[in-house]
């Protein structure tokens, strides 16, 4: 081979090598596409395994069915648990299920099982768009989307049956903030219209997310607005949101006045220690490797050093506004800060210690092979952790034995019967058995807390404590004393055996006023006749 041929060969090899390099757009498509694929699997796997909506959704199923009975007119009250609970919950999710069920002839339970993970999957794309804006980089946005899609437990509350409201709220909040940011930055009629639309849909989807969206929009204005023009835009969006959402809140006010809303405002976890809650969110780890903990800590310090003060402020804001739902909202800035840890802090650290920096100039982000491999390994690891978490979520769903027992109750007891479900779960708001019980049995449950947030106001937590107390009873005497103290009566006791103390079973079996009317390995039902 002559010299000319050798030079040509080297040139061709160099050109081929350059052709194999990812462009920035190709890099973004690769990682975002892989993220979506893993995110879809992680969100749909628990529902496939469970065969029923995860965790909650019973009250919402009743409210969806109420819309059929009212011919799509917003009812004054819901039929759930025979309590005349004000139909004050934002209804967008309920109308969506009702409409899809009627158009495509799908059961409401099927939609409660699959619609939340579908909507939550779409939120990955919405988050990517918002993160790309706030981080001023689509590649940073793609990395942030990896953390958003695959952090264990991050999507849990959005893919459950109750996620039919929460998932829409999350999606619309991300879209609202995206367009509000663009409105403050660019102005324009399109930005104004879409900002108003998505802010309105957020309010119509979930009560707490609506509050968080309003607070986050104010924070956006503080950091990216602060002009008379943007203040006018913000005012127009606020007024427009009130007008668009008026058919809902106006109907509720006409039926009940402000009482349901004032009652619900008294049921948030406002006494939760804020600093402790934020510290817990930062230090929450995985099973094996503390990747997320390290990324969160590095991201926070890097963001502050680089003066990304908006993300730090947005991290704190949810805990000041509504502590109960704060972790799910704070997760947005968390993911963006973690992206900064990987895309900026880690390469900067490596470059600082590189030798011969002048001879070997820093490559583009997408050309850093070691960093791409690191991201892929993190993605695979987080997917594995998320999948393991998904197995845990399957156990939050009602078992077939639970559903069979409730079907027996519906068929074999009178419609006016009062039941005392006891499961051993001391947090009634996260107990799927007692939450689904009134819907699947069409009977009154005396330990179901859902719905009381719209009725009891400050007394809500008194009732909450009562329901929690009876769950730890170990004897029939304990239940009798609880009944006498609270004035809560019943004709049947339903025991979910896996959670209750075995002493309670023995005590009820030997007490003369209780008679076993249904019993399986998982559930026992006693009829009660007061002496």
Pick the more confident residue, 107 or 26.
107
Q: Are strands 523-528 and 492-496 parallel, antiparallel or unpaired?
A: antiparallel
CA–CA separation, 132 and 217 (whole Å): 17
According to the model, what pLDDT value does residue 273 have? 65
Residues 145-161 pLDDT 10s? 999 999 888 899 999 99
CA max distance for the chain: 110
For the residues 209-222, what does the mean pLDDT come to? 96
**Residue 289 pLDDT more than 80?**
no
According to the model, what pLDDT value does residue 457 have? 86
- Percentage of residues in the chain having pLDDT higher than 90: 72
**Is there a contact between 341 and 302 (Cβ–Cβ < 8 Å)?**
yes
**Residue 6 pLDDT more than 70?**
no
Contacts of 123 (CB under 8 A, 6+ apart): 158, 167, 170, 171, 174
According to the model, what pLDDT value does residue 352 have? 74
User: pLDDT band for position 363 (50/70/90)?
Assistant: low
Residues 423-433 pLDDT 10s? 999 999 899 99
| 183, containing H or E segment | helix 163-186
According to the model, what pLDDT value does residue 360 have? 43
Structure token pair of residue 410: 């519906």
According to the model, what pLDDT value does residue 161 have? 96
**Is there a contact between 465 and 276 (Cβ–Cβ < 8 Å)?**
no
Angle between helices 309-321 and 291-305 (to 10 degrees): 120
User: pLDDT band for position 277 (50/70/90)?
Assistant: confident
User: pLDDT band for position 23 (50/70/90)?
Assistant: confident
Other CB atoms within 10 A of residue 354 CB: 9
> Which long-range contacts does 401-404 make (Cβ < 8 Å, 24+ apart)?
401/520, 401/521, 401/522, 401/523, 402/433, 402/436, 402/496, 402/522, 402/523, 403/52, 403/440, 404/520, 404/523
For the residues 507-522, what does the mean pLDDT come to? 94
According to the model, what pLDDT value does residue 255 have? 96
Residues 11-20 pLDDT 10s? 555 555 444 5
pTM for the whole structure: 0.92
Residues 38-63 pLDDT 10s? 999 999 999 999 999 999 999 999 99
Phi, psi angle pair for 259, to nearest 5°: -55, -50
Beta bridge partners of 396: none
Q: Which of 269-283, 352-366, 389-403, 423-437 has the lowest mean pLDDT?
A: 352-366
**Residue 326 pLDDT more than 60?**
yes
């Amino acid at each position: 081979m002559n010299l000319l041929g050798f030079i040509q060969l080297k040139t061709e090899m160099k050109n081929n090598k350059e052709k194999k390099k990812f462009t920035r757009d190709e890099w973004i498509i690769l990682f975002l596409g892989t993220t979506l694929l893993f995110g879809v699997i992680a969100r749909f796997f628990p529902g496939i395994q469970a065969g029923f909506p995860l965790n909650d959704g019973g009250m919402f199923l009743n409210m969806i069915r109420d819309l059929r009975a009212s011919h799509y007119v917003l009812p004054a009250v819901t039929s759930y648990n025979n309590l005349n609970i004000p139909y004050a919950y934002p209804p967008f999710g309920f109308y969506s299920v009702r409409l899809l069920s009627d158009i495509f002839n799908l059961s409401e339970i099927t939609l409660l099982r699959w619609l939340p993970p579908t909507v939550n999957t779409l939120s990955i794309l919405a988050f990517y768009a918002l993160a790309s804006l706030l981080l001023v980089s689509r590649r940073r946005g793609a990395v942030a989307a990896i953390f958003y899609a695959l952090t264990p437990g991050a999507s849990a509350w959005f893919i459950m049956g109750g996620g039919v409201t929460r998932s829409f709220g999350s999606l619309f909040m991300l879209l609202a903030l995206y367009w509000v940011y663009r409105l403050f930055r660019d102005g324009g009629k399109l930005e104004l219209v879409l900002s108003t639309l998505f802010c309105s849909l957020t309010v119509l989807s979930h009560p707490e997310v609506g509050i968080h969206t309003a607070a986050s929009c104010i924070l956006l204005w503080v950091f990216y607005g602060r002009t008379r023009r943007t203040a006018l835009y913000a005012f127009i969006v606020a007024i427009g949101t009130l007008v668009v959402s008026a058919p809902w809140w106006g109907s509720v006010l006409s039926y009940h006045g402000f009482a349901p809303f004032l009652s619900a405002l008294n049921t948030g976890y406002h006494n939760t220690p804020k600093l402790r809650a934020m510290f817990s969110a930062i230090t929450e780890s995985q099973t094996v490797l503390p990747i997320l903990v390290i990324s969160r800590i590095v991201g926070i310090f890097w963001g502050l050093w680089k003066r990304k003060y908006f993300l730090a402020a947005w991290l704190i804001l949810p805990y000041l506004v509504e502590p109960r739902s704060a972790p799910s909202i704070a997760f947005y800035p968390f993911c963006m800060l973690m992206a900064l840890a990987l895309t900026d802090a880690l390469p900067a650290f490596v470059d600082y210690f590189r030798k011969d920096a002048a001879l070997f100039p820093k490559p583009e982000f997408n050309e850093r092979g070691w960093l791409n491999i690191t991201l892929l390994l993190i993605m695979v690891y987080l997917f594995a952790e998320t999948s393991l978490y998904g197995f845990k979520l399957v156990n939050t769903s009602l078992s077939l034995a639970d559903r069979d027992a409730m079907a027996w109750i519906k068929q074999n007891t009178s419609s006016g019967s009062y039941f005392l479900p006891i499961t051993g779960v001391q947090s009634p708001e996260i107990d799927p058995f007692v939450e689904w019980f009134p819907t699947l049995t069409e009977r009154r449950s005396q330990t179901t807390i859902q719905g009381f947030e719209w009725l009891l106001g400050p007394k809500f937590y008194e009732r909450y404590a009562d329901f929690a107390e009876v769950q730890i009873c170990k004897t029939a005497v304990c239940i009798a004393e609880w009944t006498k103290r609270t004035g809560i009566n019943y004709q049947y006791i339903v025991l979910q055996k896996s959670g209750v103390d075995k002493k309670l079973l023995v005590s009820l079996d030997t007490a003369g006023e209780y008679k076993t009317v249904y019993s399986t390995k998982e559930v026992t039902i006693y009829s009660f006749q007061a002496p």
